[in-house]
Structure 1
């Protein structure tokens, strides 16, 4: 994924008959050569499949009750979001490619609304973020694409826009937009574990 004078990141996909998993190998350059520093992947995804099974097994009457109790996250959205969260990188990339126009529309709406200040240190940043996610048009597209929220606080990048799919604690996955490569955050085994280009300034990212 990336190689510089002192660090490198290699993405590895492990395939089994019915599943795929992605791992990220972080190397550092030392006097005697390249050394493997860490192996990372998205944490706690094992929690997803049991939840998916429970949701898929619900009869229509239970689905209706679920939707009444969870108006902000319907059964269909929660099921789609869980599946996307635990998907292989290749499947997330395919989801992005199939829905690129909608991702671009979210970007346009957020930029037009001026929801995010230039710097993360802005004291109004949380309120701006909340307003962006509450925008009816933005919210509808987030739900359609099975995305959790739009933010600028997941990767530490002051100029990036992040569309979070989901995750647990600080181990999250989503899509990031930054059209200027020089402004992208650096990959690190203790933070941004991978940044995969999807084209036109879009990236798949994961944190730990």
Structure 2
């Protein structure tokens, strides 16, 4: 073999090895599905993500689903749905940034869920007699059995997988649209200092809690935009946006809005931390 040919072959292999870059979705899939690749995640991690969890940290028979939620020139967000053999699991969100190549900088999921999970389990175990006793207490937590069971369903929805929450919306889309119309026709102070984040719950007639919504407010994003909070703890919330113009939809980031999914016709599912 001539020296020229040998040099050409070496350069070809060198070029292939160094040209190996991954797009965000492909990178996240390899980190969480390829156990061999996952041993090298330090090459594709930055900031607070130190390479764990990865494929080698997940239980055997874990089922994974991946969805690209957003990609710009320098940032991307990938939804990772992690399921056990019974189909139960959680949605997590990998946030990526691009320097010379794409790297994962943070993993996020709805935080502070332990208290809600414990409350749900305790409520599910209660007998009808225990529920009656709870309602009769003077603290006003629950005014009726309907109120009790609605709260239980609200907690379940808050903890549900994203596709389940979106299904909840789609089955009741007509009611949500009616609620939005009522909000748009509601008169309230639009002075700039008081316009953003006005609590609208007491200003409308619709019983929005039947839709398993805990609170409604104007949005900081834009005029005629609304937030429908399902539930959560402190700043860790799940809910729906109504934002008619797509350019007004806020950007996802690891420190505040960790996930946004478009549902259609101006509606979005979101989570914060």
1:52 positional shift: 1.2
List alignment gaps of at least 5 residues for structure 2: 1-68
- Which residue is 1:190 aligned to? 255
Q: Write out per-residue CA displacement over residues 141-178 of structure 1, whole angstroms, 9 at most, x where no aligned residue.
A: x211111100135xx42333110011111111101111
Higher relative contact order (Cα pairs below 8 Å, separated by 6+ residues):
1
Check whether the contact 1:166–1:172 (CA below 8 A) recurs between aligned residues: yes
Structure with greater Cα Rg: 2
* Closer/same/farther in 2, CA of residues 191 and 56 from structure 1, 3 Å limit: same
Q: Between Structure 1 and Structure 2, how many residues are aligned?
A: 198
- Which residue is 1:166 aligned to? 231
Asked if 1:71 corresponds to 2:149, the answer is no
Check whether the contact 1:116–1:125 (CA below 8 A) recurs between aligned residues: no
Residue 85 of structure 2 aligns to a residue whose secondary structure is: coil
- Which residue is 2:98 aligned to? 29
User: What RMSD over aligned residues (CA atoms) do the two structures have, in Å?
Assistant: 2.1
* Closer/same/farther in 2, CA of residues 169 and 33 from structure 1, 3 Å limit: same
Out of 174, 179, 182, the residue aligned to residue 109 of structure 1 is 182
List alignment gaps of at least 5 residues for structure 1: none
Which structure dedicates a bigger proportion of its chain to strand?
A: 1
TM-score (structure 1 length as normaliser): 0.87
Higher mean displacement: 89-98 or 56-65: 56-65
Check whether the contact 1:66–1:75 (CA below 8 A) recurs between aligned residues: no
1:47 positional shift: 2.2
Moved over 6 A (4+): none
1:46 positional shift: 2.5
Distance 1:116 1:196 in 2: 30
TM-score (structure 2 length as normaliser): 0.67
Check whether the contact 2:183–2:204 (CA below 8 A) recurs between aligned residues: no
Q: Write out per-residue CA displacement over residues 99-141 of structure 1, whole angstroms, 9 at most, x where no aligned residue.
A: 1111111111111113473x7x423666x52xx2024623x1x
Check whether the contact 1:66–1:74 (CA below 8 A) recurs between aligned residues: no
- Which residue is 1:52 aligned to? 120
- Which residue is 2:213 aligned to? 147
* Closer/same/farther in 2, CA of residues 123 and 28 from structure 1, 3 Å limit: same
